[in-house]
Amino acid sequence: MARVWRSDDIDGLDLGAAADWYFREALLRLPQSRPDRRIFVVGAPPGSGRSLLVRRWLQRQPDVAWTWVALGGPVSPGVDLLEDVVGPAIRRQSAEGLGGFVVLDGVEALKPEELAQVIGLGGVRLVLVGRGEVLPGAVAVRLAGELVEVRGDDLWWPVDVVQAQLAALNGARISTAWAERIHRVSGGWPSGVLALGRTQSSATDLDELARLAGSLVLDRIPSDLKTFVLETSTVPHLTQDLDLCADLVPGLNPATMLEEARRWGLTADQWPIRTPGEAAHYHPFVAAAAQRICAEQVGRPSDNLRRVAEKASGLGRDVLAVDCFMAAKAWLQALEELERSAKKGFSGWEMSHLQATITVLPESAWEDRSDHRALIALAAAVCGDHLFAAELMARPSSAAWWGAARTLIQAWSAPVAPDAWESELPEVFAIRDQGALEAVFHVLNARVGVFEGRSGSVSRHLSAAWRTGADRMPGYIVMAGLGTESLNAAWAGELFAAQRLAERARALAEQAGMAGHPMLAAAVLAEAEVLRARDEPAAALHLLDRDAVIVGAGEEFVTSVHGGAASGQARRILRARLLLDLNDVPQARAELAQVNDHLPTALAVRRALARARLAELEGDHAGAQAGLAGAPNVPNIAAARLYLALQRQDEEQAAAILALWPSDTGLEDRLRRLLAEAAVALAAGHRGPASDLSNDALVAAEPDGHLSIFLEVPAPLRVLVSTMLRRSPDASQWRRALTAGLDRAGAFPDEGAGVTRREVVVLEKLTTDLTHAQIAAELFVSDNTLKSHCRNLYRKLGVHSREEAVRIARVRGWLNASSAERKVVDVNIPRTPDVVDVAEL
Examine the domain organization and report whether 754 and 741 are in the same domain: no
User: If you write DSSP's letter for every residue of 429-476 in order, what string do you get?
Assistant: GT--SHHHHHHHHHHHHHHHHHHHT-HHHHHHHHHHHHHH-GGGS-HH
Examine the domain organization and report whether 586 and 452 are in the same domain: yes
Answer whether residue 830 is part of any domain. no
Examine the domain organization and report whether 286 and 199 are in the same domain: yes
Number of folded domains that form the chain: 6
Residue 200 zone, left/alpha/beta (φ > 0; ψ -120 to 50; rest): left
Please give, one letter per residue, the 3-state secondary structure of 40-91.
Answer: EEEECCCCCCHHHHHHHHHHCCCCCCEEEEECCCCCCCCCCHHHHHHHHHHH
Answer whether residue 713 is part of any domain. yes
Contacts of 50 (CB under 8 A, 6+ apart): 42, 43, 44, 129, 150, 155
Examine the domain organization and report whether 716 and 812 are in the same domain: no
pLDDT of res. 411: 57
Q: What domain range is 444 assigned to?
A: 418-607
pLDDT of res. 300: 62
Examine the domain organization and report whether 209 and 318 are in the same domain: no
Integer Cα distance of 161 and 197 in angstroms: 13
In this model, does residue 211 exceed pLDDT 70?
no
Integer Cα distance of 836 and 647 in angstroms: 13
Answer whether residue 772 is part of any domain. yes
Answer whether residue 615 is part of any domain. no
- Identify whether the C-beta of residue 206 lies closer than 8 Å to the C-beta of residue 62: no
Note the pLDDT tens digit of each residue in 474-524: 777 888 889 999 999 999 999 988 999 999 888 888 877 777 777 788 899
Domain boundary residue, one of 728, 747, 766 = 747
pLDDT of res. 198: 53
CA angle at 776 for the pair 774 and 779, rounded to the nearest 5°? 110
Note the pLDDT tens digit of each residue in 6-62: 333 333 322 222 233 345 566 777 777 777 788 888 888 766 778 777 887 887 776
pLDDT of res. 533: 93
Domain boundary residue, one of 137, 155, 173 = 155
User: If you write DSSP's letter for every residue of 231-254 in order, what string do you get?
Assistant: HHTTSTTGGG-HHHHHHHSTTS-H
- Helices 402-411 + 370-383 axis angle, to 10: 20
Q: CB count, 10 Å around CB of 87?
A: 15
Name which of 676, 686, 685 is nearest 653 in CA terms: 676
Integer Cα distance of 473 and 430 in angstroms: 7
- Identify whether the C-beta of residue 376 lies closer than 8 Å to the C-beta of residue 392: yes
Examine the domain organization and report whether 435 and 536 are in the same domain: yes
Answer whether residue 112 is part of any domain. yes
CATH of the domain at 33: 3.40.50.300
The one-character DSSP state at 818 is -
Answer whether residue 625 is part of any domain. no
- Identify whether the C-beta of residue 614 lies closer than 8 Å to the C-beta of residue 651: no
Examine the domain organization and report whether 137 and 35 are in the same domain: yes
pLDDT of res. 359: 84
- Identify whether the C-beta of residue 717 lies closer than 8 Å to the C-beta of residue 654: no
Examine the domain organization and report whether 482 and 578 are in the same domain: yes
Q: Which residue has the higher pLDDT, 541 or 378?
A: 541
Contacts of 835 (CB under 8 A, 6+ apart): 617, 808, 811
Mean pLDDT score of the chain, rounded to an integer?
75
Domain boundary residue, one of 296, 314, 332 = 296
Examine the domain organization and report whether 248 and 290 are in the same domain: yes
Length of the chain: 841
pLDDT of res. 751: 39
pLDDT tier for residue 818 given thresholds of 50, 70 and 90 = very low
Examine the domain organization and report whether 539 and 638 are in the same domain: no
Integer Cα distance of 645 and 765 in angstroms: 24
Answer whether residue 191 is part of any domain. yes
Answer whether residue 34 is part of any domain. yes
Note the pLDDT tens digit of each residue in 406-420: 666 555 555 555 554
CATH of the domain at 530: 1.25.40.10
Contacts of 146 (CB under 8 A, 6+ apart): 37, 38, 39
Examine the domain organization and report whether 116 and 245 are in the same domain: no
H or E segment and range at residue 545: helix 537-546
In this model, does residue 833 exceed pLDDT 70?
no
- Identify whether the C-beta of residue 240 lies closer than 8 Å to the C-beta of residue 246: no
Examine the domain organization and report whether 739 and 754 are in the same domain: no
Q: Which residue has the higher pLDDT, 129 or 181?
A: 129
